[in-house]
A and B are shown apart, each in its own frame.
Chain A
């Protein structure tokens, strides 16, 4: 039973700079947890604290029930894949794979057998005698993964392992990673800033921002019910459209969009609409309407992305600086991205009349950013 528990973990760098702020989180045995957030949000620091590469300023991290705060990295039985792979350049693939086992004085026969079967699992048999400098990016990535997995660690840590691969290889490796995890069932913590990886790979995702845990849950759950403006804007590609709005007499108004929503006090709100939540007028279930002025049309084959703008109101909403970048809004126009079926091809410069199902609209408190 190898679970990883973060208990009120804080990391302060000299300076002082707060990298991780009171993180409490439980990763279950065999679970695949994704730590996701923008760069500098503390996700890598959290991972490095588990590995023992950073000292924990406050709080405790426990692996399999044992607090590991003061256990040196070599005794934690945790493996890690680095963003730049960190393969030992002076050793062959074979030596790289066997390095950890040699440090643990594994008998020679067993070592060779395990290195060999790991090479087979990852399709590296032909490359065993090569050095990292003679490998392609994808091959290096595989060796790095093999080197970490060969000693069957209790916990497997990955720090943006796919970010140095080209797009095609990344999709391929993503599937391979998931397959590998299904097969080995090692407790895995995976750090990424790529929300597609976050959505597709994890059992659960933990969204972090500015050192704090914003939301923890199953990917679809986080996507469907973001707990605050930050998560709403971060998870999803293209991101959720955010408009400034106001609640008046049981109605929410945002630009030319007005819809009823019971149980709200009056005041400023942020209105969130997913790009796929908008449908051309004329389809079933007409809802509140919205006029989008089309700027750019991106046909992607299976769908069409329309970038445009809608009328907005200048509500003077106060959003924290980091989240403000999500609100691309001039005084009277707000950016809006719409995802349409491939046969819909609105002309650039035209106006598109869309409706939205009020149930799919997310509302957030304008002052705190919390979901309403």
Chain B
């Protein structure tokens, strides 16, 4: 007579073999890594591509350290020999660089913060609240993403003019307080968050707004960091819109101001590049600082393991 193996015993065996591998322990099924290289062979492809991508950046840095004569040499000199570090203080002091820097920081910070706030609010509505015409509204909002900036630049200009904002920093801030891309990005992210967390918070006594600020946003740091960096890059680097709306030097942003190194009468390429390098630094710093949020996602850790 055969005896059926106990179901519970089988469960115990499965549980024992399913134990996750400890660090340094290799699973039986894992294929042993080829030992002839300390890194993946893909690096042979990635490294040349990375170098090609870096050449323009290096060229900018090198040009910023050359004399004016060297910058006009042909073929271009990629290693000047002696470095003109004085180009940097000269670039800073020959124009109102500090004013432009501050202007750009004011505009960019305001736009980034307001985008994080307003896009979150709109996105939460689209992601979670039921209201009449929601999907139609969302569709039309997304459709506006396909309209190129050049098409709306004149109507936007007229609106801003009516608000008496032309030639002020307000002209750079108000039309950019929120943008559709941010709403789209956050809506899609919010939808991936487990809804039980929000339901639990509502039962625990939180209002809709509290749920957004205490539960949803803290869990959305990767998406918020992404949006902040993208918005920062866009605003910081924007040239066309400031060119159209700002005329007086005291309201220039950096990108607009840098143009004054390259006019019909002057062409100080080395100073222009020094200014460029200085205007790039905040973006590099921000990117490195926000990088760790891009890859991190902890939103599902409170649920069943």
A residues contacting B by CB (< 8 A) are 51-53, 72-74, 76, 78-80, 82-90, 99-100, 103-104, 131-133, 136-137, 140, 147, 151, 164, 166-167, 296-300, 345, 347-348
Asked if residues B305 and A90 are in contact (CB atoms below 8 Å), the reply is: no
* Cα of A103 to Cα of B201 in the assembled complex, Å: 9
Report whether A85 and B206 are in contact in the complex, using a CB–CB cutoff of 8 Å.
Answer: no
Q: A300 to nearest B CB, angstroms?
A: 8
Tell me whether A88 and B205 are in contact (CB under 8 A). Answer: no
Q: Are B15 and A166 in contact (CB under 8 A)?
A: yes
Report the bound CA distance from A209 to B140 in whole Å. Answer: 43
Pairwise interchain contact A133-B301, C-beta atoms closer than 8 A: yes
Q: For the complex, what is the distance from the CA of A179 to the CA of B199, rounded to whole Å?
A: 27
Contact flag A73-B300 (CB < 8 Å), given A84-B196, A166-B15: no
With both chains docked as a complex, state the minimum distance between the C-beta of B7 and any C-beta of chain A, in angstroms: 9
Apart from the given pairs A74-B207, A82-B199, A297-B3, 20 other A-B contacts in the complex at a CB distance below 8 Å: A52-B203, A53-B202, A80-B203, A82-B200, A84-B196, A86-B199, A86-B302, A86-B303, A88-B197, A89-B299, A89-B301, A90-B298, A100-B204, A103-B210, A137-B304, A147-B204, A297-B1, A297-B4, A299-B3, A300-B6
With A133-B298, A348-B1, A348-B2: A90-B219 Cβ-Cβ less than 8 Å:
yes
Residue ID in chain B nearest A346 by CB atoms: B1
B8 at the interface (CB under 8 A from A): yes
Enumerate chain B residues within 8 angstroms of A85, measured Cβ to Cβ: 302-304
Show 12 residue pairs from A and B whose CB-CB distance is below 8 angstroms, ordered by the A residue. A53-B199, A53-B202, A73-B203, A74-B206, A76-B203, A103-B204, A132-B302, A133-B301, A133-B302, A140-B302, A164-B304, A297-B4
A contact residues around B199 at 8 Å (CB): 51, 53, 73, 80, 82, 86
Bound together, the chains give a CA A317 to CA B205 distance in angstroms of: 52
Question: Please, how many angstroms separate the alpha-carbon atoms of A354 and B204 in the complex?
Answer: 56
Q: How far is the CB of A305 from chain B (nearest CB, A)?
A: 9
On whether the beta carbons of A132 and B301 are closer than 8 Å, the reply is yes
A-chain residues with CB within 8 Å of residue B219 when the two chains form the complex: 89-90
**Contact call B201/A88, Cβ cutoff below 8 A:** yes
Q: Do A88 and B298 have beta carbons less than 8 Å apart?
A: no
Known: A296-B4, A297-B4, A299-B3. A100 touches B301 (CB 8 A): no
Shortest Cβ distance from A132 into chain B, in angstroms? 4
Interface band, chain B: 20 to 34
- Nearest CB on A from B300, distance (A): 7
A324–B53 Cα distance when bound, in Å, is 68
Nearest 3 pairs between A and B by C-beta?
A: A133-B301, A103-B205, A87-B302
> Among the interface residues A87, A89, A103, A131, which one has the most CB atoms of the partner chain B within 10 A?
A89
Q: Are B1 and A347 in contact (CB under 8 A)?
A: yes
Question: A74: which of B6, B197, B202 is its contact (CB, 8 Å)?
Answer: B202
Interface residues of B in 1-47 (CB under 8 A from A): 1-4, 6, 8, 11, 15
**Min CB–CB distance B43 → chain A (angstroms):** 33
A78 and B202 CA atoms in complex are apart in Å by 11
A297–B200 alpha-carbon span in the complex (Å)? 46
Give the nearest-CB partner of B206 in chain A.
A103
Contact between chains at B206 and A167 (CB < 8 Å): no
Interface status of B61 (Cβ within 8 A of chain A): no
* Alpha-carbon distance between A298 and B202 when the two chains are bound, in angstroms: 48
Query: Which residues of A are found within 8 Å of B298, using beta-carbon distances?
Result: 89-90, 133
Let me know if B194 is at the binding interface, CB within 8 A: yes
Bound-state Cα–Cα, A136 to B15, Å: 14
Q: How far is the CB of B213 from chain A (nearest CB, A)?
A: 12
Give the complex CA separation of A370 and B207 in angstroms: 47
Give CA–CA (A164, B219) in the complex, Å. Answer: 23
> Given that A90-B218, A299-B3 are known contacts, is A84 also in contact with B205, CB under 8 Å in the complex?
no
Instruction: Tell me, rounded to whole Å, the shortest Cβ–Cβ distance linking A371 to chain B.
Output: 32
Q: Is B177 an interface residue (CB 8 A)?
A: no
Residues of A near B303 (CB, < 8 A) are 84-87, 89
Q: Binary interface profile of B, 137-170, with partner A (CB < 8 Å = 1, else 0)?
A: 0000000000000000000000000000000000
Residues of A within 8 A of B204 (CB): 74, 79, 99-100, 103, 147, 151
Is B121 interfacial (CB 8 A cutoff)? no
**Contact between B203 and A74 (Cβ–Cβ < 8 Å)?**
yes
Pick from A53, A84, A167: contact of B304, CB under 8 Å: A84
User: Closest CB-CB distance, B299 to chain A, in whole Å?
Assistant: 6
Between A80, A90, A151, A166, the greatest number of chain B beta carbons within 10 A of the residue's beta carbon is seen for: A90
Closest Cβ of chain A to B224, distance in Å, is 13
* A140–B304 touching, CB < 8 Å: yes
* A99 and B305 contact, CB distance less than 8 A: no
> By CB atoms of chain A within 10 A, which of B206, B299, B303 has the most?
B303
A87 to B219, CA, bound (A): 12
Contact A88 B202 (CB under 8 A): no
What's the minimum C-beta distance from B208 to chain A, rounded to whole angstroms? 9
Asked if B278 lies at the interface with its beta carbon under 8 angstroms from chain A, I say no
Asked whether, in the complex, the Cβ of A78 is within 8 Å of the Cβ of B203, the reply is yes
Which residue in chain B gives the minimum CB-CB distance to A104? Answer: B205
| Bound-state Cα–Cα, A140 to B219, Å | 19
Q: What is the bound-complex CA distance between A29 and B21, given in angstroms?
A: 50
Min CB distance, A128 to chain B, in Å? 16
In the complex, A51 Cα to B6 Cα: how many Å?
41
- Per the bound structure, the CA–CA distance linking A167 and B7 in Å amounts to 11
Alpha-carbon gap, A84 to B299, bound state (A):
13
Q: What is the CB-to-nearest-CB distance from A287 to chain B, in angstroms, rounded to a whole number?
A: 28
Q: Are A100 and B302 in contact (CB under 8 A)?
A: no
Complex alpha-carbon distance, A222 and B129, angstroms = 42
* In the complex, B215 has a CB within 8 A of chain A: yes
Assess whether A140 is in contact with B206, with CB atoms less than 8 Å apart.
Answer: no
Within 8 A of A (CB), among B209-245: 210, 215, 218-219
Q: Report how far A82 CA is from B197 CA in the complex, Å.
A: 9
Nearest Cβ in chain A — how far from B200, in angstroms? 4
B196:A86 contact, CB within 8 angstroms: yes
Cα A297 to Cα B4 in complex, Å, equals 7
Instruction: Point out the residues of chain A lying under 8 angstroms from B2, CB to CB.
Output: 348
A86 touches B197 (CB 8 A): yes
Question: Is B205 within 8 A of A86, CB to CB?
Answer: no
Q: Contacts A90-B298, A167-B11, A348-B1; is A99 near B304 (CB within 8 Å)?
A: no
Chain B contacts of A137 at CB under 8 A? 304-305
Q: Which residues of B contact A79 (CB under 8 A)?
A: 203-204
